[in-house]
Amino acid sequence: MDSGLSVDDIAPIAILMDELRSEDVQLRLNAIHSIPTIALALGPDRAREELVPFLQDSIDDEDEVLLALAEELGRNFEDYIGGKEHAHLLLGPLENLSSVEETLVRDKAAESITKIANVLSSAQIEEHYIPLLKRLSQAEWFTSRTSSAALYPAAYEKVSPPIQDDLRKGFAALGADDTPMVRRAAAKWLGPLLKHYSSQHIMSDGLPVYRRLESDDQDSVRLLTIEDLIVIAQRMSPAEVKEQLLKQVRHSIGDKSWRVRYMAATHFNELAEAVGTELVREELIGQYVQLLKDNEAEVRSAAASQIPGFSKLLDKEVILARIVPCVRDLSQDTSQHVRAALATQISGLAPLLGRESTIEHMLPLFLHLLKDDFPDVRLNIISKLETVNDVIGIELLSENLLPAIVELAEDKSWRVRQAIIEYIPPLAKQLGKPFFDEQLGNLCMSWLGDTVFSIREAATVNLKNLTDVFGVEWAREAIVPKVMGMGKHPNYLFRMTTVQAITIIAPSLTLPIVRSDIIEPLMQLASDPIPNIRFNVAKALEVLASTFGANPEGKEFVRQRIVPVLEQQKNDQDADVRYFAARALQKALSADP
């Protein structure tokens, strides 16, 4: 890599060393981030001979600096030291970082080591990477052994069968380590490693390690084995799963720790797909119902998130008999978070049940959740209504939908109000123009006068999106007159909203509408007593010039109506107005031939 720089152009290695020894943490941090530049200037030979050994010897006591070093060395740093054939030299500094006390640093070092493993040849792996892996795996301090677990998957397929045998034994030792943190790391990385095992070694080596970890006395270890279970199940036949894993499946789903049950619930669909249809019907339906009825709200929430995905694996009759009764109970759950999780997913059952069953069994639950006391529940139902609409039509929901929308639109939390605004355009498309104009049109305009700026801003974007849904002629009749009328309001915030709305909506309108309904009121606001409004008018005029100045008719409009106003604003007494007017004028004149 040639930068065209000489060492004299950049701080030499001696200055870098001084900065890394500085008492100022920020200076040391800056020095670490400049290492690629320094290496580039030094050239590959000096970077290998001077820079890498220096980095290996200088272990900082500040975690932030060490974290930055671990990250930099994993960013294709081998390119600066002569390419892939020298990449193994970076393992030295990273091995040191893999043993420090701070978890974030160790994790980043391990991540960078695995990145380097991907560019190493099999010979380099066996000569340099495997000895490092063994040193870390057998180190006295648990920090090194913890880091080593992450390094096994990257190397396994690149080494010879005898070394693979050693790696399996080494990883099994980590799974039986006396220190819980090491066993946690083994549980975390067992799944990725098992993906590289042959079917024979899954049974002979992987399964015993998994079973030991799955029955660990620490729930922080057991919860990490759920993903290992899924990987093993994916590599086995349904008969083997039934024979070898059924006991562990039951243990995990019925674990005494809610954290393990939560993890099982979170990954339940993956587990169900891995074990096969027969075991799902025989065993997992009952286990899933058990999770939906769990005594911990967090577990019920996680299980509720899996409802549509799991139900896809079942027959319609089974969904109605086993899943729908649980859904009914969850819709009245004492925890608002469970109801909110259910509200996000419940609509996914409609396509599986069909129109008649959805109307009979699910519609009452939709309507019940639309009246929930907790805003997030109502929001989540409304955000997913399109799926239900496709199955049963919006008519059956609209009567109950309107009160829910109005309540959310007036919620005391501005974030709730903002969320419902974002759902209005897709809802409007489903409800149709007549219903929207009659029931929701005034509500959308009222948001333009909200006391919170973010709501007013979202309301203007909402109007643009509605214009895209219903068309410009609808906008001309329903939106433009109301928006422009606010430009005469005595409160400057309303006038400001008019200008900002024009800026956002204009690209969706046509030149005739701008010429007949918008430009004249905007000209009047160009001389508003409030400077903020005047410079926002300049911004709006810039958008109009950019949008409509591309064709002859538009160019004439820009020259006759926009340029004179901007020429006048360019001499405004306010500096901001002058700046934005000058910028807009430049844009407007560039549109002129």
360-402: per-residue pLDDT in tens?
898 889 888 888 889 889 888 888 877 887 787 777 777 777 7
Give the number of other Cβ atoms within 10 Å of residue 356's Cβ: 10
Percent of the chain with pLDDT over 70: 95
Homologous superfamily in CATH for domain 487-592: Leucine-rich Repeat Variant (1.25.10.10)
Cα(305)–Cα(300) distance, integer angstroms: 9
Look at residue 203 in the predicted model and tell me its pLDDT. Answer: 92
Whether the predicted model's global pTM rises above the 0.95 cut: no
Cα(62)–Cα(337) distance, integer angstroms: 40
Residue 2 binned pLDDT confidence (cut-offs 50, 70, 90): very low
Residue where the block lists tokens 């010979």? 123
CB 479 within 8 A of CB 498: no
Averaged pLDDT for residues 430-458: 84
CB 272 within 8 A of CB 289: no
Averaged pLDDT for residues 521-541: 90
Contacts 24+ apart (CB under 8 A), 126-134: 126/159, 126/160, 126/163, 127/88, 128/88, 128/91, 129/88, 129/91, 129/155, 130/155, 130/159, 130/163, 130/167, 132/91, 132/95, 133/167, 133/170, 134/166, 134/170
- pLDDT, averaged across the chain: 88
Averaged pLDDT for residues 25-40: 82
Cα(282)–Cα(284) distance, integer angstroms: 6
Nearest C-alpha neighbor of 470 from the set 517, 521, 505: 505
Look at residue 10 in the predicted model and tell me its pLDDT. Answer: 46
The contacts of residue 225 (CB under 8 Å, 6+ apart) are: 187, 190, 210, 213, 214, 216, 252
Averaged pLDDT for residues 164-176: 94
Q: Is the pLDDT of residue 470 over 70?
A: yes
Cα(123)–Cα(160) distance, integer angstroms: 10
Alpha helices in 118-176 (DSSP H): 122-124, 130-137, 142-148, 152-156, 161-175
| Fold match, 6-120 / 487-592 | yes
Please report, for the chain, the start and end positions of each structural domain, with discontinuous segments joined by +.
Answer: 6-120, 487-592
Torsional class of 276: left (φ above 0), alpha (ψ -120 to 50), beta (otherwise): left
Q: Is the pLDDT of residue 22 over 70?
A: no
Look at residue 15 in the predicted model and tell me its pLDDT. Answer: 67
Q: Which of 246-255, 294-303, 390-399 has the highest mean pLDDT?
A: 294-303
Q: Is the pLDDT of residue 268 over 50?
A: yes
Averaged pLDDT for residues 537-558: 87
Q: Which of 19-23, 219-223, 354-358, 436-440 has the lowest mean pLDDT?
A: 19-23
Q: Which CATH class name applies to 6-120?
A: mainly alpha
